[in-house]
Amino acid sequence: MTPFAALHHADTPLLLPNAWDHASAMALAGRGFSAVGTTSLGVAAAAGLPDGASATRDETMRLASTLGTEPFLLSVDAEDGFSDDPDEVASFAVELAAAGAVGINLEDGLGPAGLHAAKIAAVKSAAPDLFVNARTDTYWLGEGDGEETLRRLDTYQQAGADGVFVPGAADPAAIGALVERLDVPLNILYSPTGPTVPRLAALGVRRVSLGSLPYRRALGAMLETVTAVAEGRSPQGAALSYDEVVALGRAGRRR
Among residues 91, 94, 134, 133, which one has the least CA distance to residue 115?
134
The β-bridge partners of 208 are 15, 188
Confidence (pTM): 0.94
Residue 108 CA to chain centroid, in angstroms?
14
Give the DSSP letter string of 156-222.
Answer: HHHTT-SEEE-TT---HHHHHHHHHH-SS-EEEE--TTS--HHHHHHHT--EEE-TTHHHHHHHHHH
Predicted confidence (pLDDT) per residue in 65-119, tens digit: 999 999 999 999 999 999 999 999 999 999 999 999 999 999 999 999 999 999 9
The whole-number pLDDT of residue 240 equals 85
Contacts by residues 190-195 (CB-CB < 8 Å, ≥ 24 positions apart): 194/170, 195/170
| Mean pLDDT of the residues in the chain | 95
Predicted confidence (pLDDT) per residue in 171-209, tens digit: 999 999 999 999 999 999 999 999 999 999 999 999 999
Among residues 4, 1, 16, 45, which one has the least CA distance to residue 200?
16
First to last CA, the chain: 27
DSSP 8-class letter at 129: T
The whole-number pLDDT of residue 250 equals 66
The whole-number pLDDT of residue 57 equals 98
The whole-number pLDDT of residue 218 equals 96
The β-bridge partners of 131 are 103
Among residues 208, 200, 155, 143, which one has the least CA distance to residue 182?
155
Alpha carbon distance 57, 69 (integer Å): 19
Encode burial over 125-151: b for 16+ CB neighbours within 10 A, e otherwise.
ebbeebbbbbbbbbbbeeebebeebbe
pLDDT band (50, 70, 90) for residue 7: very high
The whole-number pLDDT of residue 238 equals 86
The β-bridge partners of 73 are 35
211, 201 contact by CB (below 8 A): no
Residue 98 CA to chain centroid, in angstroms?
19
The whole-number pLDDT of residue 249 equals 75
Residue 143 CA to chain centroid, in angstroms?
21
